[in-house]
Amino acid sequence: MPASVDVVEYGRRRVLVVVGVMLATVLQVLDATIVNVALPTIQGNLGANLNEGTWIITGYIIAAVIIIPLTPWLQTRFGRKRYYVTAILGFTLTSVLCGLAQTFEAEVFFRVLQGLCGGGLLPTGQAILRDTFPPKEIGRSQVLVAIGAIVGPSVGPTLGGILTDQLSWNWVFYINVVPGLFAATILILTLRDPAKPQKIPVDVFGLALLAMGLGSLQYVLNEGERNDWFGDARISSFACVAVLALVGFVVWELFGAKRPIVDLRILGRRTVWAGCLLAMTIGFTLYGSIVITPQFNQGILNFTATMSGESILIRALAILGCTPLVLVFLNRLKLNPRILLGIGFILVAIANCLQAQVTTSQSDFWTFWIPLALGGVGFSQLLAPLSVAVLSTVRGIDTAKASSLLSLSQQLGGSLSTAVLVTMLDRRAAFHQSMLAAGITHANSSVQRILLSAGPEGLQRIYAVVVREANTLAFADAFWMLGLVAFLLAPLVLLIRTQRAAEPVTLAVAE
């Protein structure tokens, strides 16, 4: 009979485990955004055009999305400690290879490997901290995860801009080496494996369907707007593959597989599936703003990469400042996580609406500090309370299952947000340009003055102003949309149940 072992840690050992997990978490989420700022430089150095260069990001995301739901199976098959430490070391090694790549093809290949290694770091780290702290301190464990999960993407553009401007693009990858090795060393020495590996068979058919479905879906979301969506035969084909593969995967895992590689039955718990919807909403609003803010800052306001990153850093600092308060609310005051979630979504909605109001072509660096800071306060009240609400209802291996589904939902929300916003920016810019151009006639006194003073070049000046203002209005529309999504989906918090599971926090360990 397997012995039941309490995996809670105390004292110095707990501190070391937390440090190792936090480093690994920050590295993974940081890498999802740090490359964005350096992408134009990487494309230029490796001789890739814009469409090709995006695969440096797309390849990583597709690989990460595929591996995230597999992490519970990988932990069971190889052992949590072995899988986690191996993933950290693999992520570190592939980071070096990405920095050393001399060709575009090699860069994309190593980025895919990096995504396969790094995709499972966040959900596995979340499960580790969930089991490292006693049940009464679950809020503290998830606040620590939230710091890395939210601050990392916010700091990424800042750090990426500084490294690219001051050193070279290679350093956005080399920066992972020392923290990665340090985290792996700490965890090798301190992390306890809650259960011995089990030699369970591989659900090959389910794995193939999952890879095809999520990979195709991610490709459609990333490449759809660039290729005219369903007007392109390739996008339509991948969309069909995604739908058929994902439907087939769900049917197979629920009714066909003897040992499913992803246990979808956990979604039968209302709090888990509602939590996944909320995680997708968080990913939509968080990553959506991270994607469009640098584009507006650098494309319209002519900020440097460093300045663009520093503006987002304002939100990260607000998150760090408010996180201790969230811990007090959850642990000491025992505030219902649903209250914090509701307040958080409302604050994020207000912050995006305020940012839309001040989005003009004449804005300066400090114009956005109030909405960015307010958004940071809102985001600080989202991930940790959501994790507490969901993970407090599960135990054992179900912790890893719920964590991986939450991470997958957040990643898919970010990918959906990117696809929607890129499409929206293109189409709203075209709409505003046509509306503004309709007012450019010879009867307009301002147009007459420009043509008289500038001659033939006046038309070019007028056209440049129209394009700039149309793009600015499109970015404002995008922020309005992000605010509306956060506001409309806030009532989903009412679906969350906050009762705690009755079982003690123990995992079976074979003698």
Flag whether pLDDT at 96 surpasses 90.
yes
For the ranges 300-309, 312-321, 351-360, 448-457, which has the lowest average pLDDT?
Answer: 448-457
Flag whether pLDDT at 1 surpasses 50.
no
**What share of the chain has pLDDT > 70, as a percent?**
88
Banded model confidence at residue 350, pLDDT cuts 50, 70, 90? very high
Q: Which amino acid is present at 274?
A: A
What pLDDT, on a 0 to 100 scale, did the predictor assign at position 6? 64
Kindly state the average pLDDT of the residues 344-349. 92
Q: Which residue has better confidence, 272 or 443?
A: 272
Flag whether pLDDT at 301 surpasses 90.
no
What pLDDT, on a 0 to 100 scale, did the predictor assign at position 2? 39
Q: Centre a 10 Å sphere on the Cβ of residue 60 and count the other Cβ atoms it contains.
A: 25
What pLDDT, on a 0 to 100 scale, did the predictor assign at position 273? 86
What pLDDT, on a 0 to 100 scale, did the predictor assign at position 318? 86
Kindly state the average pLDDT of the residues 382-387. 82
Q: Which amino acid is present at 271?
A: T
Contact 348, 285 (CB under 8 A): yes
Our CA angle for 454, 455, 460, nearest 5°, is: 75
Domain spans, the chain = 3-202+261-430+469-509, 203-260
Banded model confidence at residue 114, pLDDT cuts 50, 70, 90? very high
Kindly state the average pLDDT of the residues 272-286. 86
Q: What's the whole-model pTM score?
A: 0.77
pLDDT tens digit sequence for 465-504: 788 888 899 999 999 999 998 888 888 888 887 654 433 3
pLDDT tens digit sequence for 359-370: 888 888 888 889
Mean pLDDT of the chain: 80
Tokens of 225: 């707007």
What pLDDT, on a 0 to 100 scale, did the predictor assign at position 263? 77
pLDDT tens digit sequence for 3-44: 345 677 778 888 899 889 988 988 888 877 777 777 777 877
**In this structure, what are the phi and psi dihedrals at residue 260, rounded to the nearest 5 degrees?**
-60, 140
What pLDDT, on a 0 to 100 scale, did the predictor assign at position 83? 92
Flag whether pLDDT at 139 surpasses 80.
no
Flag whether pLDDT at 291 surpasses 90.
no
From CA 307, how far away is CA 6, in angstroms rounded? 48
Flag whether pLDDT at 437 surpasses 80.
no
Q: What is the DSSP string of 224-256?
A: TGGGTGGGSHHHHHHHHHHHHHHHHHHHIIIII
Flag whether pLDDT at 94 surpasses 70.
yes
Residue 445 CB-density burial (10 A; 0-12 exposed, 13-18 middle, 19+ buried): exposed
The continuous run of DSSP H or E covering 163 comes out as: helix 138-166
What pLDDT, on a 0 to 100 scale, did the predictor assign at position 369? 87
What pLDDT, on a 0 to 100 scale, did the predictor assign at position 97? 94
What pLDDT, on a 0 to 100 scale, did the predictor assign at position 305? 66
The CATH number of the domain covering residues in 3-202+261-430+469-509: 1.20.1250.20
From CA 474, how far away is CA 431, in angstroms rounded? 9
What pLDDT, on a 0 to 100 scale, did the predictor assign at position 28? 83
Q: Which residue has better confidence, 275 or 32?
A: 275
* Helices 383-391 and 337-357, axial angle in degrees (round to 10): 150
What pLDDT, on a 0 to 100 scale, did the predictor assign at position 110? 92
Flag whether pLDDT at 205 surpasses 90.
no
What pLDDT, on a 0 to 100 scale, did the predictor assign at position 507? 31
Sequence-distant (6+) residues with CB within 8 A of 150 are 286, 316, 319, 379, 380, 382, 383
Banded model confidence at residue 509, pLDDT cuts 50, 70, 90? very low
- Name the DSSP letter for residue 330: I
Flag whether pLDDT at 420 surpasses 90.
no
Kindly state the average pLDDT of the residues 294-323. 78
Banded model confidence at residue 441, pLDDT cuts 50, 70, 90? low
What pLDDT, on a 0 to 100 scale, did the predictor assign at position 508? 32
Kindly state the average pLDDT of the residues 369-393. 85
- List 5's β-bridge partners, or say none: 507
Three-state SS letters, 360-429: CCCCCHHHHHHHHHHHHHHHCCCHHHHHHHHHCCCCCHHHHHHHHHHHHHHHHHHHHHHHHHHHHHHHHH
Contact 355, 382 (CB under 8 A): no
Tokens of 448: 């007459």
What pLDDT, on a 0 to 100 scale, did the predictor assign at position 505? 33
Flag whether pLDDT at 400 surpasses 70.
yes
What pLDDT, on a 0 to 100 scale, did the predictor assign at position 349? 92
For the ranges 77-86, 273-282, 388-397, which has the lowest average pLDDT?
Answer: 388-397
Contact 238, 219 (CB under 8 A): yes
Tokens of 59: 């390849």
CA–CA distance from 327 to each of 13, 154, 330, 384, 385 (Å)? 21, 20, 5, 9, 9
